[in-house]
Structure 1
Amino acid sequence: MRVFVTGASGWIGSAVVPELIGAGHQVVGLARSDASADALAAAGAEVHRGSLDDLDALREAAAASDGVIHLAFKHDIAFTGDFQGASDADRRAIDAFGEVLAGSDRPLVIASGTLGLSPGHVATEKDTAAAGSPRAANAEAALGLAVGGVRSSVVRLSPTVHGDGDKGFLASLVSIARDKGVSGYIGDGANRWTAVHRLDAATLFRLAVEKAPAGSVLHGVAEEGVPLRAIAEAIGRHLGLPVVPVAPEDAAGHFTWMADFLALDSPASNTLTRELLGWRPTHPGLIADLDAGHYFDGS
């Protein structure tokens, strides 16, 4: 297959590209900068210059491909307060892909998330996200393309997609612990986060573009729920810091922008995904990955 990948030089995309190439696929990656273009070329991918806002460039690349994996998201503006703007750009890209792929039965795989899907309960692929979430609405729009002849699927990723080089939630927790001099967790720390290794997530995206049926919801979840206290204990152990509870009313002051996320209890299952696609996560779990030490290099 000739697969067009947005976000191809990002944290997950840079693992998806070699996964696809290793399986014999031809990859075309979206690049908005020279650095991204160079990284894609070095990985063996064809470069398609453009950005998430360049809808004509997205349509052109999708039209010339056998399938699309859409990973790009404007995290830069989302994390500075304009999540709606980032979601709107994401929706425009999904709609553009839907226009080009309509009636072709070609695959469109997009990324979403499990965090907050079914608070306090183990969410399954059959659960729907709460109304009002812009990104969840985008996922539903992508799934809706199936009735128009697009083999669309959604991969709901764990909030913790970990691995060497991670600069996301887990790396941010390590940074906060260093700054505060303690490794904290909220309340009793029993609330759970799902987790998946970046390389296992890449395999799932490959399987999805290859064979996920139209309208599939997939869970990029290797571990159903890792207690936040266990994560804090691993960080404290490696940094030589005390592990302490943080009262819920003090969480915003301690964890800043991460506080609301860290307070969620959001476990999720991968049973249906494994049964549907034969996906078998094989890489280290979250605590084992922390214990590998790369999150603490330079400490």
Structure 2
Amino acid sequence: MRIFIAGGSGAVGSRLVPLLVAAGHEVTGTARSEAGAARIAAAGGRGVIMDGTDPASIRLTVLEAKPDVLVHQLTALSGSFDFKRFDETFAVTNRMRTLGTDALIAAAKEAGTGRIVVQGYTGWTNEHAGAAVKTEADPIDPNPVPAARNTLAAIAHAERAAVAAGGLALRFGNFYGPGQSLGEGGEMLESVRKGKVPIVGSGAGVWSFCHIDDAVAATVAAITQGDAGVYNIVDDEPAPVTEWLPALANAVGAKRPMRVPAWVARLLIGDFGVAWMTTARGSSNAKAKAELGWTPKYASWREGFRTGLTAS
């Protein structure tokens, strides 16, 4: 098959390219720079430059590739971000999830593409009330913290557009593993190692994790399996901050995290950060396992934190 990966030099895309090439597919991957395109070419794909916020650039690139399958992995994330100014940090990515998604889907339709897979997210986006673990049938948060309102709307837009076009939206949990912020040498892991990530307030916020290799495997599965719809791509064990953060600290040889009152933390990470740490809800992967034929290699973050943070 001819497979087009929008964001072929990114966290998931860069790992997808060599796997799909090895499976015999003709892969075109997009990048924002010559260096990124060169990395795609080195992995066996065809690297092309595309502006993920420019509909004209997107249309021309997709039509030239004439893909059988289009995989949307576009983001513009790099380095740290400010929890108090969350939407500002995600501004370009939000354009890629709205304008970019619409342009990709329109171009795919024009090119006769038969299958579309779009990257989504699950975690703080769940409603912060009710059951501790949510399914795809549960609503997203109807009352998001103002600092993240635009970002949630952009994620929801990409999901709706994908499903309306007969495609699949993969809601990835919080990434960890090689090359990630929560991976060896990554910013978040180093902060944990240095004791800079405390348990905030109750620490009752439930997180769902996804090792980067499991995100890639789920995307490969979605290229050929599953009906149109939304799928949570997370491990088997959603867990509150009070469980996973001390375990992570222990796994990397750090001291047990301190606990700070929510009102103190709010000064540094704002209402959004406090909500994520205290009232977030996790996600179930039952649908993805049943309908995509996918099972996470790292069934629990417990194993993943011990063995999956370094290069694989």
TM more than 0.5:
yes
Distance 1:258 1:26, change over 3 A: farther
Q: 1:221 to 1:293 in 2, by over 3 A?
A: closer
Partner residue in 2 for 1:9:
9
Q: Following TM superposition, by how much is the alpha carbon of 1:293 offset from its aligned partner in structure 2, in angstroms?
A: 7.9
In structure 1, the partner of 2:128 is 119
**56 and 78 in structure 1: CA distance in 2 versus 1, 3 angstrom threshold:** farther
Q: Is the contact made by 2:163 and 2:169 (CA closer than 8 Å) also made in structure 1?
A: no
1:145 alignment counterpart? 164
Distance 2:71 2:8 in 1: 9
Task: Please say if residues 236 and 242 of structure 1, whose CA atoms lie closer than 8 Å, have aligned partners that are also in contact.
Answer: yes
Structure-2 change in CA distance of 1:34 and 1:105 (3 Å): closer
Q: How does 1:131-142 map to 2 (within 5 A)?
A: 131=142, 133-142=152-161
Q: Secondary structure at the match of 1:102?
A: helix
* Aligned equivalents of 2:154, 2:115: Cα separation in 1: 20
Question: Which moves more between the two structures, 261-270 or 248-257?
Answer: 248-257
Shift of 1:23: 3.0
Instruction: Please tell me the residue identity of whatever aligns with 1:195.
Output: F
Deviations 1:84-120 (A, max 9, x none): 5531332111111222233846112111111131324
Alpha-carbon distance in structure 2 between the residues aligned to 1:112 and 1:60: 24
Residue number among 89, 94, 97 corresponding to 1:87 in the alignment: 94
Q: Once the 2 structures are TM-superposed, how far is the Cα of residue 15 of structure 1 from its aligned partner?
A: 1.9
Say if 1:191 and 1:227, in contact at 8 Å, map to a contact too.
yes
Q: Following TM superposition, by how much is the alpha carbon of 1:169 offset from its aligned partner in structure 2, in angstroms?
A: 9.0
The superposition leaves residues 109-165 of structure 1 with CA deviations (integer Å, 9 ceiling, x where unpaired) of 11111113132422112223235632233234423533xxxx31100110x211122
Q: Check 1:293–1:210 CA distance in 2 against 1; reply closer, same or farther (3 A cut).
A: closer
Deviations along 1:23-62, whole A, 9 cap, x unmatched? 3322110012122112111111111112212323322332
Aligned to 2:71: 69
What residue is the counterpart of 1:38 in the other structure?
A: 38
For the aligned residue pairs, the C-alpha RMSD in angstroms reads 2.8
CA contact (8 A) 1:193 1:226 kept: yes
- The whole-number CA distance in structure 2 between the counterparts of 1:144 and 1:183 is 37
In 1, Cα distance between the equivalents of 2:292 and 2:47?
29
Map 1:92-103 onto structure 2 (within 5 A): 92-102=99-109
Cα gap change, 1:172 to 1:253, in 2 (>3 Å): farther
- Label 1:54 to 1:193 Cα distance change in 2 as closer, same or farther (>3 A): same
Aligned length: 288
- Counterparts of 1:55 and 1:78, CA distance in 2: 28
Equivalent residue number for residue 249 of structure 1: 263
Aligned counterpart in structure 1 of residue 190 of structure 2, from 175, 189, 194 = 175
With over 3 angstroms needed to count, the CA separation of the structure-2 counterparts of 1:240 and 1:224, relative to structure 1, is: closer
Q: TM-score, normalised by structure 1?
A: 0.84
**Displacement, 1:65?**
0.9
Q: TM-score, normalized by length of structure 2? A: 0.81
Contact 1:197/1:285, CA 8 A, preserved across alignment: no
Question: Partner amino acid for 1:123?
Answer: K
For the Cα contact (< 8 Å) 2:206–2:241, is it kept in 1? yes
The answer to whether structure 1 residue 285 and structure 2 residue 300 are counterparts is yes
In the other structure, the counterpart of 1:233 is 246
- Gapped regions of structure 2 (runs ≥ 5): 143-148
Correspondence for 1:107: 115
Rate the CA distance shift 1:35–1:250 in 2: closer, same or farther, 3 A: same
TM-superposed deviation, 1:220: 0.8
1:129 is the counterpart of 2:137: no
AA aligned opposite 2:67: S
For 2:155, give the aligned amino acid.
A
In the alignment, does 2:69 pair up with 1:55?
no
